Structure 1
């Protein structure tokens, strides 16, 4: 798994050791299994939030787990040009390559461990495609796309694009060095990630060695979710088993307990988790297709604005990306 890593995690800053007597470890409120779906031009994804209500996810709306899949030459696919309004898309790529371009002039090539963070805000058009070299050669694709809601007051913010290189991700380990924690946005115990967010959230990719345990401090005002990208382990104060393709939604508390099984399967030598949470917005959510607004009337207005060309114009030329 080529996401950003280090040769020796013991050189990294470490999480504090938590006092079990004074720590409220969060229980697992719900454990669900992602459903298979298709996106864009027909590539398969796992719908990570299937079966979880929006109030439990708030401030998140949607998440797709892409791969891990080995594609033959000619098989890699992307999405056509399409609009968004009212939220942010966060594409975290663990393996492979994706080119992004939007109608606001943003875009670039992301690859192993990079993140593209697009604030659609008042409206934007964008496209995500594999680079031509990947289409020709085939290869592994593995990543996550997350939709982060915007509060009513910021839904019509100007669009914005952040190109976050994997090398800028905040890296931290546990007191015993048993895990690598990549902080993409927000912070964990004071260790910050580079993503700039409109909505207070924390997003991290955690790799846990077989048999190792992570006691992760977590803002008690945030909700907490952990999705299994690969491997087997347990989560929560009650030690619930979890495996690839499953999502744990946690209850109240100020820390998460995450543990990798001592014996992992052939698909992954370690437990890989995508852990996220944020301060709930607690506003009405009406999501239809590519728009996330507060009312049905606002969604209808978004469609009308898109059809009238008010959400942007497809650029005449493709951005000159390099591989």
Structure 2
């Protein structure tokens, strides 16, 4: 999103309970504060993995310079469900700079990956997750291919950020802004770019083990039952999730 001076908007103080928010910034910058006393600034390549757990109030706002000068804001936010045993855990905040996120590439440099969660090309993520999760940012040059191991019991999908490429043994085309869902009938995911392509393929590959529990979601809360949702609303209104006072 291209923004002029003063145009950047954010998400002022709001609550979450029962899941995690994963924010990955590609361009621009934003600032985070929460009721647990955490704060941080996300610049390009940075990741914020916030576990709301029992409940937290946080804000996600454009940085001072983005608001003042304008510019491009580009990133992704993934909501990751928590199993019932962790839905009321103590909130936590993992602020991971781009410099500390593992990166790897093939010997010829035709495939590059940033390992946000899981493993790829011999590199393992530094972020701790509550359930097995794979979150990988791949860039494939024309003529390259990746066979990435994905256990068959995982759900997996790829999102094309820029460019286009082929997925699966049948070589289905995935264009910019499209998602490819994988059937789970193989233990590898095949990603490739034809040699005649004129640009690299920039994509996200995400996968995880299905939790296998009922999900009831209302606004910023994701729980297992309607009663738990009603309790979350009551707790937030009563101030039990805290306030941002700094």
| TM-score bracket for the superposition, by shorter chain length | over 0.9
Among residues 127, 147, 153, which one is paired with 2:85 in the alignment? 153
- Quick one: distance in 2 between partners of 1:153 and 1:233? 39
Structure 1 unmatched runs, 5+: 1-68, 318-323
* Conserved 8 A contact 2:133-2:206: yes
Is the counterpart of residue 285 in structure 1 residue 215 in structure 2?
yes
- Quick one: distance in 2 between partners of 1:180 and 1:305? 45
* Conserved 8 A contact 1:174-1:214: no
Is the counterpart of residue 213 in structure 1 residue 169 in structure 2?
no
Structure 2 unmatched runs, 5+: none
- Quick one: distance in 2 between partners of 1:155 and 1:222? 21
- What do you get for the CA RMSD once the two structures are aligned? 1.4
**SS of corresponding position for 1:74:** coil
Residue number in structure 1 paired with 2:40: 108
1:161 CA displacement: 0.3
Is the counterpart of residue 245 in structure 1 residue 177 in structure 2?
yes
Instruction: Map 1:1-323; keep pairs closer than 5 Å.
Output: 69-174=1-106, 176-188=108-120, 190-252=122-184, 253-261=186-194, 262-264=196-198, 269-315=199-245, 317=246
- Quick one: distance in 2 between partners of 1:199 and 1:263? 37
**SS of corresponding position for 1:300:** helix
1:237 CA displacement: 1.6
* Conserved 8 A contact 2:113-2:120: no
1:176 CA displacement: 4.1
Q: Which moved more, 1:213-222 or 1:86-95?
A: 213-222
* Conserved 8 A contact 1:188-1:202: no
**SS of corresponding position for 1:224:** strand
1:140-181: CA deviation from partner (whole Å, max 9, x where unpaired):
111100000000000000000001011111212235431101
- Quick one: distance in 2 between partners of 1:184 and 1:213? 20
* Conserved 8 A contact 1:227-1:247: yes
**SS of corresponding position for 2:160:** strand
Q: Runs (4+) of structure 1 moved beyond 3 Å?
A: none
* Conserved 8 A contact 1:227-1:248: yes
1:211 CA displacement: 2.8
* Conserved 8 A contact 2:37-2:244: no
Q: Which moved more, 1:156-165 or 1:224-233?
A: 224-233
1:75 CA displacement: 1.4
* Conserved 8 A contact 2:2-2:72: yes
The size of the alignment, in residue pairs, is 244
- Quick one: distance in 1 between partners of 2:181 and 2:34? 33
1:38-90: CA deviation from partner (whole Å, max 9, x where unpaired):
xxxxxxxxxxxxxxxxxxxxxxxxxxxxxxx2211111111011000000000
- Quick one: distance in 1 between partners of 2:3 and 2:243? 32
